[in-house]
Amino acid sequence: MRNKKKITRILLTVITVTLFLVTLFPFFIVLINSAKSSLEIITDPIALPRQWSQLFSNIEEIWTSPSIRYASSVYTSSIITILSLIAISVFSAMAAWVLVRRKTKMSTFIFLLFISGLIIPFQVVMFPLVALFRTINQTVGLQMLRTYHGMIFAYVGFGAPLAVFMFHGFIKSIPLELEEAALIDGCSKTQIFFLIVMPILKPIFVTISILNAIWIWNDFLLPSLILGVGQDIQTIPLAIAAFAGSFVKKWDLIMTAVLMAAAPIIVGFILGQKHIIKGMVSGSIK
Amino acid sequence: MNRHVKDKLVFWLFLAPALISFLVVVIIPFFMGLFYSMTDWTAVAGLKANWVGLENYKAMFSSVAFKYSFMRTFLFTLLSVLSINFVALTFAFLVTREIRFKNFYRAGFFIPNLIGGLVLGYIWQFIFKSVVPAIGSLLGINFLEELLLLADPNLTLFGLILAFTWQYAGYIMMIYVAALLNVPQELLEASEIDGANFWQKLWNITVPMIAQAFTITSFLTLVNSFKQYDIIVALTSGGPTAIYQGQTVNSTELLAVHIYNVAFKYNNMAEGQARAIVFFLVLSVVSIGQVYYSKKREVEM
């Protein structure tokens, strides 16, 4: 009996390790091919690179490439992701809180409106959205397309439904007594929210931020419409698309670009692994 | 200011940032889209959109390319849902068993999910084009050496499914892992003493206990397969071409890509918008139907 258990365990380990290696195989391919010259990658795409030092000259080429503008793209992606995350979380928490605490027909209606946003796919609103942003520019004079604020504004709009929904569910479970006590102590509504409610919402903030960070960092279609491929402000996916589009056959450099695009988020994941996995799962179960 | 008015003011002030951006970005464009789908809208500045009624919808139903794209999207969605859930469930079973370093493997299976569809598409394009034939010639397998997955309209869809499964199975695995860890261990041990074998335990205890997770995972995989865009753009950009009902069609131009192409490539915004509306309706019906059916199954189990 014990022997049988042991054999099962060894068998399971072998299967797991095999699947693990298969899963990571594409990363291995990217890594070894980032360190090859354009000739080497054609003659032998699965051999180890002859000289790993080639990796550095490839990285240098991507770093200085005028179409990918690596440093500036990472900067743009970071700014857009971080500001959108903060804006989505704070604004949605504020909205969810007043929607829970003020029970009127109006608040129920607005909540349902947010929920309806969960089932509207991006494809239905993308063309009119671009037209509307252009109209805003022509009538009010506020430039929305090809700007940071336009991009972040769009992310708040698309991110709000899920965030409001999740905050709403959580805030309902917070006892009202806490807020009433603060009110008697002379706190204003604004103070109550930022000093008492917000700290309680921390676990939901973490979940929402992780889900949104992966979405926004990797998003392609929305920024391609709002910012445009090959324009001044470009995120990493836009830069990769512009680069791979102009050099269809230069696989050595495309692989290096892919490696450099994936590196920041993989490093981030490894650093915050524990919180990320916990946060993502608790988010999806709710 | 009396308290009532002040409360109302706080309500609207707190609501304003999220609500205004949501209205401007989603709700208003949604109704604009409904209207535009019944006009000859071109998005060229200065041109007024004229009312054409249901013309765009009629054009859509008589379009062979749309019919083909629709069928391919359903096929892709069905196969992706099966493939992703099968792989995810296998991963989840393995990493919840008594093996060492299971958190390490769990993280490894999850990592592809961090890679965006666009970047991922380029990785797999390289694998299918260069790596697979190279492995074939290394091992002396002629079939692999000559396999041009991205050039064969019958096979390319499977390449897409493989790439998508690689990306998404790790995330779905996490949901199954959370559910599996909630299955009471005593129940499994008790049934083992009663002589239940592996399959009996699986079918009679584990599966009913994780029924709720199935509702979530099938919903997520269904909706995300149906809306797939990024991977296609980078991996196949819709090709290769095939022949359907005597017309040339793009074999992996699934609906999300098709809508975009009709609007921008063929410069027909209004027709693209009409197809997007139908896309929305079909997705809503299918996903709501799926959740309703799964919820019912949950109760029965």
Neighbours of B128 (CB within 10 A): 22
Secondary structure class of B247 (helix, strand, coil): strand
β-partners of residue B247 are: B244
Q: Any CB–CB contact under 8 A between B285 and chain A?
A: no
Task: Please compute the mean of the pLDDT values over residues B274-293 and round it to a whole number.
Answer: 93
CA distance, residue B81 to nearest chain A CA (Å)? 17
Of B141 and B278, more confident: B278
Supply the pLDDT for residue A286. 42
Is residue B265 predicted with pLDDT exceeding 90?
no
In a domain, B37, yes or no: no
Q: Do B234 and A241 touch (CB under 8 A)?
A: yes
For residues A26 and A137, membership in a common domain is answered with: no
Is residue B18 predicted with pLDDT exceeding 80?
yes
CA torsion through residues B91, B95, B99, B104, sign: positive
- Residues B226-243 pLDDT 10s: 999 999 999 998 889 888
- Residues A182-211 pLDDT 10s: 888 888 888 999 999 999 998 889 889 988
Report the CATH number at residue B119.
1.10.3720.10
Which of A14, A30, A63 is the C-terminal boundary of a domain? A63
For residues A146 and A203, membership in a common domain is answered with: yes
In a domain, B213, yes or no: yes
Is residue A150 predicted with pLDDT exceeding 80?
yes
Q: Do A95 and A164 touch, CB atoms closer than 8 A?
A: yes
Q: Do A280 and B233 touch (CB under 8 A)?
A: no
For residues A24 and A80, membership in a common domain is answered with: no
Angle between helix axes A2-34 and B156-181 (nearest 10 degrees) is 130
DSSP H/E element including B57: helix B55-61
Q: How confident is the model at residue A6 (pLDDT cuts 50, 70, 90)?
A: confident
For residues A69 and A11, membership in a common domain is answered with: no
For residues A49 and A136, membership in a common domain is answered with: no
In a domain, B99, yes or no: yes
Task: Please compute the mean of the pLDDT values over residues A175-181 and round it to a whole number.
Answer: 88
Task: Please compute the mean of the pLDDT values over residues A81-90 and round it to a whole number.
Answer: 96
In a domain, A281, yes or no: no
Domain count, chain B: 1
Residue A124 carries which side chain, given as an amino acid letter?
V
In a domain, A270, yes or no: no
For residues A18 and A82, membership in a common domain is answered with: no
Task: Please compute the mean of the pLDDT values over residues B180-188 and round it to a whole number.
Answer: 86
Preceding amide of A121 cis, omega within 30: no
Q: How confident is the model at residue B142 (pLDDT cuts 50, 70, 90)?
A: confident
For residues A133 and A42, membership in a common domain is answered with: no
**3-state SS record for chain A:** CHHHHHHHHHHHHHHHHHHHHHHHHHHHHHHHHHCCCHHHHHHCCCCCCCCCCHHHHHHHHHHHCCCCCHHHHHHHHHHHHHHHHHHHHHHHHHHHHHHHHCCCHHHHHHHHHHHHHHHCCHHHHHHHHHHHHHHHHHHHCCCCCCCHHHHHHHHHHHHHHHHHHHHHHHHCCCCHHHHHHHHHCCCCHHHHHHHHHHHHCHHHHHHHHHHHHHHHHHCCHHHHHHCCCCCCCCCHHHHHHHHHHHCCCCHHHHHHHHHHHHHHHHHHHHHCHHHHHHHHHHHHHC
Per cent of chain A over pLDDT 90 is: 57
- Residues A250-276 pLDDT 10s: 888 999 999 999 998 899 888 888 777
Encoded tokens for B58:
């009629």
Reported as half-sphere exposure (CB side, CA atoms, 13 A), residue A217 has a value of 23
CA distance B121 to B102: 28
Work out how many CB contacts closer than 8 A connect A with B. Answer: 249
For residues A71 and A205, membership in a common domain is answered with: yes
DSSP H/E element including B9: helix B3-22
Domain count, chain A: 2
Q: Which residues of B touch A219 (CB under 8 A)?
A: 116
In a domain, B276, yes or no: yes
Q: Which of B122, B193, B268 to mutate to test the interface with A (most CBs of A within 10 A)?
A: B122
The shortest CB-CB distance from B33 to any of A17, A124, A262 is to A124
Domain that holds residue A134: 65-88+120-157+170-246
Task: Please compute the mean of the pLDDT values over residues A9-30 and round it to a whole number.
Answer: 94
For residues A49 and A71, membership in a common domain is answered with: no
In a domain, A233, yes or no: yes
In a domain, B189, yes or no: yes
Q: Which residues of A touch B107 (CB under 8 A)?
A: 269-270, 273, 277
Task: Please compute the mean of the pLDDT values over residues B151-180 and round it to a whole number.
Answer: 93
Q: Which residues of A touch B117 (CB under 8 A)?
A: 218, 220
In a domain, B133, yes or no: yes
Domain that holds residue B187: 54-300
Q: Which residues of B touch A244 (CB under 8 A)?
A: 122, 234
In a domain, B9, yes or no: no
Is residue B139 predicted with pLDDT exceeding 80?
yes
- Residues B53-112 pLDDT 10s: 899 999 999 999 999 999 999 999 999 999 999 999 999 999 998 888 888 899 999 999
Report the CATH number at residue A72.
1.10.3720.10
- Residues A98-117 pLDDT 10s: 999 998 999 999 999 999 99
Is residue A228 predicted with pLDDT exceeding 50?
yes
For residues A207 and A151, membership in a common domain is answered with: yes
Q: How confident is the model at residue A247 (pLDDT cuts 50, 70, 90)?
A: low
For residues A142 and A236, membership in a common domain is answered with: yes
For residues A59 and A140, membership in a common domain is answered with: no
